[in-house]
Amino acid sequence: MHSPLVIIGSGPAGLSAAIYTSRAGLDTIVFGTKPKVAGDYEIDNYFGFEHTISGSELLARGRAQAKRFGTRITEEKVLSLHHNDSGGFHIKTENEEFDACAIILATGVGRVRPGISNLSEFEGKGVSYCVSCDGFFYKGRKVIVLGEGVYAANQGLELLAFTPDVSIVTQGKTLTMTTPFKERLRTAGIPVLEQKIDSLSGSPALSSITFADGSTQEAEGLFIAMGEASSLDFAYTLGLERSGVFLVADKEQKTNIPGVFAAGDCTGGFLQIAVAVGDGATAARSAISYIKEGCQKKS
């Protein structure tokens, strides 16, 4: 399926962007599960609301407004985001695949940390956050994907292109991946271990892991894929400039990759809803110009 614009993230920044792009006549799809603010979070300082409003109500209004202008909103999880060989971007979700001319990342911030005591010592020495970036270096080697959901399952399946020796460790978490993905892992011969990795070993690079129960297992590669894919995961696969846990975007919310825009908390700064909404509007304006000046001329 093809859509000129895909927005990843259904919080204030993503919905704000969708309102502007849909009103401008662009076919817009928003992907994203409920953001943190969608709970019982109480908001007292948002402009125009004399009385406290809950985060869930504010987002419900934003979703309704975006849908009124024609935005398609889905809670499907985005599993991977890559450059297209022919230009643009390819998005893979749990059930569909899309091609897009432009992307707005509005995923918020907060990568799930796995709780491995010496993880940082092995980053770049066996620990990776990007299968498409580093999978090639583990051809024929024994690798582990750390994660409990469909994102981890998809990363494990993608690793089969490089090595047949793949397993998944949930880090002690309960499996959340869907039944179809469990079946795909079983068919592919990828075992799933509901254990917790306590530490890593090896010199000069990773060679084994130690579980919380004291047992060990050989592993030359450990790919972190806990929770859902985040802006940082997409940054690795697309080659986006980062500053710590944040994406780097200019005053027009443009990243260093043409056609990719970032808005809201994933860009850092003053992490407030009002700022995220403004960022979303700015990213939308930039994306509208990019699509009308670039993509539509090519089509």
Tens digit of pLDDT for each residue in 124-182?
A: 899 988 888 789 999 999 999 999 999 899 999 999 999 999 999 999 999 989 899 99
Higher-confidence position of 76 and 291: 291
Which is more confidently placed, 280 or 112? 280
Intrachain domains 2-111+230-298 and 119-224 with the same fold? yes
∠276-31-187 over CA atoms, to 5°? 140
Burial class (CB in 10 A: 0-12, 13-18, 19+), 244: exposed
Distance CA 221, CA 201 (A): 11
pLDDT for res 299: 44
Q: Does domain 119-224 have CATH number 3.30.750.24?
A: no
What are the boundaries of each domain within the chain? 2-111+230-298, 119-224
* Domain 2-111+230-298 grouped into CATH 3.40.1190.20: no
Please give the backbone phi and psi of residue 81, each rounded to the nearest 5 degrees, phi first. -145, 120
Q: Is residue 72's pLDDT more than 50? A: yes
Q: Can you read off the two tokens belonging to residue 203? A: 């010199």
